[in-house]
A and B are shown apart, each in its own frame.
Chain A
């Protein structure tokens, strides 16, 4: 196969069409879809609406809820550890506030608990891998906040609710949009470098489904810049943290409510018992469950552990029927299939094109609609581009950005994207990027209120693990916002709880025993275990599993 500047010769013909049509398209605007048309494309092409990929949860608080098979799989699974093997009388860490999962939500929670009066010795932050292995660090495009005079929180509110199909919890949306400017101000005070124009005002971009430009960004390393600053602060304030120590089960207190967690050191394979008065779950999302067989943009440890632990303890979940597929995952080269091509590429003007170089849809629909339109084009027409490994994709016309905004725009604003493609010899200032939808975000999760209380006493949650903020579909830039808004609120709530005098009593794992009984009653065909902790990619093991599944299906 002959390669020309990163692309196989075969694909070059189609790239020529893209390059030839560019000047004609520069002012061409494709109409966005009406609510009815949106519904139609979603019903027919979004994986959420395909019953093949879903089933009902068979036990527990949310019994009967229709969720992706992969989510049901981890919920209908046995605990990793036999509760009788854990000695709860030996407490390894005794603190007031335990925060599980050190992404953006967890670090914000830890900082705000500390700012609000919980002494650092009374806080413990635990995480699965290294401090910094999380979805937050990967966020590229930006964070929304309505701070311009032509904008305001009420307008932001409407965008969030409409994007979420009017199914969001209004109290959570109000908290999200009202705290947004405060969060940006907090970040500025910490020294986060948000992109500014020459005159010192913020650069603010549009995003899918936003009616104003309100996306604040730090090039296309927004999450990295934000997270490394929060992490720097955690270390400066000497807040204790444990790495490579995922929680695998919550612990309940004799007086009712959640009172701690079991940690598992993945290197030494030891278990540790933590007792705490308030537990904040901030374990993030589920991309590494590969819902509906899609590749994912998510980090290695995004396996929904927190939802599993909370569910076993009886927490209520919501909106897990809705999964977010990002419209533009890389479809070529093979080494990076599924990795994110940020929506900011479209915010800055890139159009989505079929193989002859004509636009296939409005480029900034809400994510679920945009993704469905791309899937529709690749599955019901021949207007797609095929890669040497038979993947289908759509062109994202990145060179158009520089036609509109001038030479140098890409290097300045999309340096991560430029670098990623350039590592494989593709120059995105000259040639378009091939894309196809990829698994991106867990829209639903643990139910909470605006102070981050879940349905269980002693248990708070914040971030991607939670449900209700985004309804059935999150808009770009509202998740980086959510983790700060609700991470902060969870920290403040924990500090309020700290000031109240109460004890949790003797520790028990009664809820785990109860879950095992419920699972036994289901007579499951496969005996699975969860939380997943890390996905399995060793080829022989993956192959064995596929063969097993195949044999079972016969």
Chain B
């Protein structure tokens, strides 16, 4: 009963896509992820945030009449006619086990846990596949040269989808390498503002306790009054 399509549905333009070898006709406006659901798949692996932030939905596909392999985040990419899709099993690359407190922001810290970085062939396969369009090879090279700040900044938008590592002939887990670079940079190269350290001390010394006591003792009406009268120092208000 429910399978009959409404008029509107019939009017939607559709495309033909191939999922694991079988053909499906799906509305042309869908993302790859929604198209697979439309076709009857229920995701268990291969879907997470559904918004381009978690990297769970990394997908490889081919297009009709094109020999190349394309890569994308399935939740952020619209289907195209003739797409041939496969689902990638997520195989996490091994991650180094380290204690950042005992490291320095240097190439040797990185090489200690990821010696394979020295084997980079500069083939650039990783940059080409990255769905975030990150210059992956460049950040790997920056690590090798000890330019941890540059590696950290360049790798910043990585969603850890793992596609780069899958393509790497030197078996480098680039996204783990970038992670370590960012932690080293964030910890050692970026200073901790004095104002933060002072504020933590003030709180630990109970400087605001009296103030909290007073605020907590106010009636709801008095609180409301305070709230309305509070000043805004940073923002323009009418």
Contact = CB atoms under 8 A, between A and B. Distances in A.
B51 A191 contact: no
Contacts of B238: 29-32, 362
Interface stretch (B61-69, B91-99, B119-127, B136-144): B91-99
B31 A191 contact: no
B216 interface: yes
A138 B76 CA distance: 14
Interface residues of A, number: 91
Interface in A230-250: 232, 235-236, 238, 244
Interface stretch (B15-23, B156-164, B165-173): B156-164
Contact of B51 (A153, A267, A339): A339
A34 B235 CA distance: 17
A130 B186 contact: no
B1 to A, nearest CB: 7
Contacts of A544: 2
A157 B212 CA distance: 9
A206 interface: yes
Contacts of B52: 416, 419-420, 423
A334 B190 contact: no
Given A236-B99, A300-B47, A416-B52, A335 B31 contact: yes
A206 B48 contact: no
Contacts of A170: 215-216
- What is the interface of chain B mostly: helix, strand, loop, or mixed? loop
Interface string B175-194: 00001001111111011110
B90 interface: yes
B45 A211 contact: no
A65 B132 CA distance: 45
Contact of A147 (B42, B195, B215, B234): B195
Given A31-B238, A188-B186, A534 B203 contact: no
B157 A419 contact: yes
A149 B191 CA distance: 18
Given A146-B199, A157-B212, A334-B29, A132 B34 contact: no
Interface in A71-126: none
A137 interface: yes
Interface stretch (A158-166, A394-402, A428-436): A158-166
Interface in A41-78: none
Given A31-B238, A193-B182, A200 B228 contact: no
B230 A155 contact: yes
Nearest to B26: A539
A35 B215 contact: no
Contact of B95 (A155, A194, A235): A235
A423 B216 contact: no
B237 A32 contact: yes
A128 to B, nearest CB: 10
A190 B183 contact: yes
Contact of A137 (B53, B226, B232): B53
Contacts of A419: 52, 132-133, 157
A148 B202 CA distance: 12
Given A191-B183, A540-B40, A154 B212 contact: yes
B7 interface: no
Contacts of A415: 157
Contacts of A212: 232-234
A174 interface: yes
A232 B183 contact: yes
B230 A130 contact: no
Contact of B203 (A130, A153, A225, A537): A153
Contact of B232 (A138, A161, A211, A534): A211
Given A174-B216, A299-B54, 12 more contacts: A129-B45, A132-B55, A181-B200, A190-B100, A193-B156, A194-B186, A244-B44, A299-B48, A534-B42, A534-B43, A534-B44, A538-B38
